[in-house]
Amino acid sequence: MRTILFSSQTYDRDSFLGTELPAGIELHFQSARLSLDTVALAEHHEVVCAFINDDLSAPVLERLAAGGTRLIALRSAGYNHVDLAAAKRLGLSIVRVPAYSPHAVAEHAVALILALNRRLHRAYNRTREGDFSLHGLTGFDLVGKTVGVVGTGQIGATFAKIMNGFGCRLLAYDPYPNPQVEALGARYLSLPQLLAVSQIISLHCPLNEQSKHLINRESLAHLQPGAMLINTGRGGLVDTPALIDALKDGQLGYLGLDVYEEEAQLFFEDRSDLPLQDDVLARLLTFPNVIITAHQAFLTREALDAIATTTLQNIAAWAAGTPQNQVEG
């Protein structure tokens, strides 16, 4: 079964080829992002394996179906980039990786908190230049601080457990409360209530119609002045231009992003020799209290191995007529 992996990087090749291939699966790696310009590369491939920034809109899916593709195997948990109605109409099956390593993403969120709090990025640059002064590097103890966890699925629950270990007071927001999070002593509140009393807010919810721009100008106004916001979920959870005003007036004291709403044309590529054309991202990068990483929270050996294993199992199960981890339109 011919399978093409779009947006594949060296680490994808290593993890997939390092996993025992089920019988009948033939892998082809393509570094290009799937789009209308590259969809022809998928012709005669029964399976297309796509990542988060690949274009799976109706026009692309139509071309895929016409070229013989029957299965879209996502290397991600999220599927907001897939036109599910079009896939159903075209008879394309969609499978995903519902969980790989919640620890990978949760730990990266904690890394952003620690780096922002203790100004590690600024301290690193200073000492490399021979500046050993401590001015402007004062942080705060995490113990006793109030942490708001927005979205308490597997990743959010893992993050809550880590922050509980720091001695933080936990608050949570989720339409479906998680007993594991409640067992840590977390109180579930409405989002405005959580934002109003949390000193650190971390986003771990999926992106859908209800959660798009969950953090916007109105919700940012609820924050305690100087609060910290972390987003390792999806870029579209945040109205990014609104963050700039909140940073300028001090309402937002710290910002850590691993995802960005307009990341598709930027992330996962070396663009260091090119001028940055995204004015919003360029402005964010000028703030000393902002750290942005390029969607690397998932990037651990354990997570990559789990993604490869589950994806290959999904393809084999679908081929055997016993599909698993299907996304229903």
Distances (CA, A) of 152 to 214, 230, 239: 15, 15, 21
- Is 302 a catalytic site residue? no
Beta bridge partners of residue 84, listed in sequence order: none
63 is catalytic: no
Per annotation, catalytic residue among 33, 96, 119, 295: 295
Which entry of 263, 283, 301, 328 is annotated as an active-site residue? 263
Whether 295 sits among the annotated catalytic residues: the reply is yes
Question: Contact, 284 vs 292, CB < 8 A?
Answer: yes
Residue tagged active-site, from 62, 234, 262, 302: 234
Give the separation between CA 100 and CA 103, rounded to whole angstroms.
Answer: 9
Q: Which residues pair with 191 in a beta bridge?
A: none
Residue 321 CA, distance from chain mean position: 31
Q: Residue 147 in contact with residue 170, Cβ under 8 Å?
A: yes
Contacts of 167 (CB under 8 A, 6+ apart): 142, 143, 144
Cα 143 from chain centroid (whole Å): 27
Q: How far apart are CA 90 and CA 27, in angstroms?
A: 24
Dist CA 204 CA 174 (whole Å): 10
Which residue pairs, CB below 8 angstroms and at least 24 apart, start in 242-250? 242/215, 242/216, 242/217, 243/215, 243/284, 244/280, 244/283, 244/284, 245/217, 246/217, 246/220, 247/284, 247/287, 247/289, 247/290, 250/225, 250/226
Determine the 3-state secondary structure of 225 from DSSP. coil
Q: What is the DSSP letter of 271?
A: -
109, 159 contact by CB (below 8 A): yes
Residues labelled as active-site residues: 234, 263, 295
